[in-house]
Structure 1
Amino acid sequence: MKIILISDTHMPRMAKRIPPRLAEELETSDFILHAGDWQTLDLADELSRYAPVDGVAGNTDPPEIEKQFGRKKLLTLDGLRIGIVHGDGTGGTTPGRALDAFKDERPDLILFGHSHIPFMEERDGILLFNPGSPTDKRRQPQFSFGVLETGDGDPRPRHVFYDSKR
């Protein structure tokens, strides 16, 4: 199973359309997970043309996105338990807040966003993954998203980096 991991798209403010490098991977995806800050439900509709979509709302999303997706989620895809949370809040670090959100569930992987900073680190047997942003790199050198391919013995996401969102 090929799962595309995205966050912090902030569309249409930061991009009027899905960046070509992301669209290329979406074409062969089986599932899409979004860790918040979509901005509009139109993006969920657009992504669903590629594959089934799920995710959570972020701190800048309107109420209708939170109503549809919620703020925290635990899914099982192809035997992998994936926690999703945006990671905003106060105190600590964004990865720390994401880990704390699932302290009782202990998923295999926690997908989070908020910082727009690509991140992958294992803590206490749980893999934390922030895909960065495909449309708003802020102070990062490149735009990014993640790809998770299951089916092998140790599914690990990877970052995909690129220079232009056009």
Structure 2
Amino acid sequence: MRILAISDTHIKGGDLPPAFKGLLDECDIIAHAGDFTSNECYNAFAATGKLKAVYGNSDGPELKQILPERLVFEVEGVKIGIIHEGSLSIMDTTALRYLALEMGVDVLIFGHIHRPLIEKSDVILICPGSPTKPRQSDPSVVLIDIKDGKILPRIVEIEGDACGFIEFSRSLEKNK
């Protein structure tokens, strides 16, 4: 079983970037931790028939009506939770760990911070980063393989511009 964990796509239309379309075909489930930003983007993911998702703070009222704030599902005996904004920092993941325990999950997938993280303790915390608008990192998603009860997550970098520093540098160059 392969899960594509993704978050913070922030895509205005329904055209998904080609850089990760192949990953959609490789996975059995798409776990999206919110911030589709448009109904068209949500519909493109939903059309795969593989989507499990929550809404994010940048999603509009329509998506907030059809998607939950939190979601828990089970795959091969592994309980997985999804939430958008579990914490404002990946420097201290204590609150995220307690949230995972509160939700009763083995794996908590969260978004909002646009920077990838995999942290393993008594629970596994996963932030896939952002494939389109990363912060202080490269564009990314996380692939999670589950086999015989083993959870094997890995960060996968996606083609595209790296963190906001590049965009900031480009804007400085234009303003010279």
CA shift digits 1:63-102 (9 cap, x unpaired)? 2212211111111122210011112567996744433333
RMSD: 2.4
In the alignment, structure 1 segments of 5+ residues that lack a partner are: none
2 CA distance for matches of 1:161 and 1:90?
22
Name which one, 1 or 2, has greater alpha-carbon Rg.
2
In the alignment, structure 2 segments of 5+ residues that lack a partner are: 162-176
Whose helix proportion is higher, 1 or 2?
2
Distance 1:155 1:89, change over 3 A: closer
2 CA distance for matches of 1:94 and 1:35?
19
Q: Does the CA-based 8 Å contact 1:94-1:114 persist in structure 2? A: no
% same residue: 29
SS for the counterpart of 2:65 is helix
More contact order relative to length (CA 8 Å, sep ≥ 6): 1
2 CA distance for matches of 1:97 and 1:42?
33
Match of residue 134, structure 1, among 131, 135, 139: 131
SS for the counterpart of 1:164 is coil
Report the count of equivalent residues: 161
Which consecutive aligned stretches of 4+ in structure 1 deviate over 4 angstroms post-superposition?
A: 88-94
Structure 2 equivalent of residue 42 of structure 1? 40
2 CA distance for matches of 1:84 and 1:164?
25
What TM-score, normalized to structure 2?
Answer: 0.80
